[in-house]
Amino acid sequence: MDPSQLLKGVLDLAVLAVLREEDGYGYDVLRRLRKAGLDDVGDASVYGTLRRLYNAGLLTSYVVASDEGPNRKYYALNEPGRERFRESTDTWNSFARTMSELVGETR
């Protein structure tokens, strides 16, 4: 099964999870997702997701000057974002449990 297809549904949660630990700019979020094992995540997907979560009011952003290039736009979780993270985590856990049971049964 193509992991990128699975990723689409849970990328919001993955990004929220990364930002819950620490604020991050786009490329930083991407690196942390890859480091966590999500190798197939695309640059544009991460930037797009950050933008959408921000537009949905789940993130705040601030700009930090960078020594190496353009200014970096950092994203941080706000209260609605944290709330969304808790909901999504619950949904994911129950979904994952269900899928594990389902897959385990049929094996």
Partner 1 sequence: MKDTALHPVAADYRVEVARILADLPASEAEEILDDVEVNLSEVVAELDGAVTSESLRARLGTPHEYAAELRAAAGYPPLTRTGPGRLSNFGRAELLCLGLLVTLGAAFVTGIGLGAAKDGQDRWWIFPCLLGLAVEALNALWLRGREPGLPEIAALSVGRRARALGESLRTGRWAEPVRFLMGLQSAWWVARALIVAVLAWVVAGGVWWPVGAGVLALIGSLWLGPRAARDRRLVWAAVPINALVIGAGIGMLGAGQLKPDAGSMEHVSYAPQSQYPPSFHTPEGSPLDPGSLLGTLDGQRLQNIYPFDAQGRPLKDVLLFDQNGKQLGLAGADHDYRCGPAGSELNLVPNRESLPFPQPRLVVEPGGAKCHVEEGTAPFTIAIPVRPGRQPSANPGAVPPPGTQLPQGAPSTAPSAGASGAPNPANRTTLPVPPNSAPPASPANPKTAESAESATAPAQSGS
Q: Could you count the other beta carbons within 10 Å of the beta carbon of residue 84?
A: 20
Kindly state whether residue 20 participates in binding partner 1, applying the rule CB under 8 A. no
Using alpha carbons, select from 90, 85, 87, 72 the residue that is nearest to residue 20: 85
Kindly state whether residue 52 participates in binding partner 1, applying the rule CB under 8 A. yes
Structure tokens at 82: 């944290």
Judged by beta carbon, residue 22 or residue 101, the one nearer partner 1 is 22
Q: Are 61 and 29 in contact (CB under 8 A)?
A: no
Least separation, in Å, of the C-beta of 70 and partner 1? Answer: 5
Using alpha carbons, select from 95, 30, 23 the residue that is nearest to residue 63: 23
Judged by beta carbon, residue 50 or residue 77, the one nearer partner 1 is 50
Kindly tell me which residue out of 25, 59, 74, 84 binds partner 1, with binding defined by CB under 8 A: 25
Kindly state whether residue 26 participates in binding partner 1, applying the rule CB under 8 A. yes
The residue range among 16-24, 37-45, 83-91, 95-103 that interacts with partner 1, by the rule CB under 8 A, is 37-45
Calpha distance 65→25 (Å, rounded): 12
Positions touching partner 1 (CB under 8 A) are: 11, 25-27, 42-52, 55, 65-73
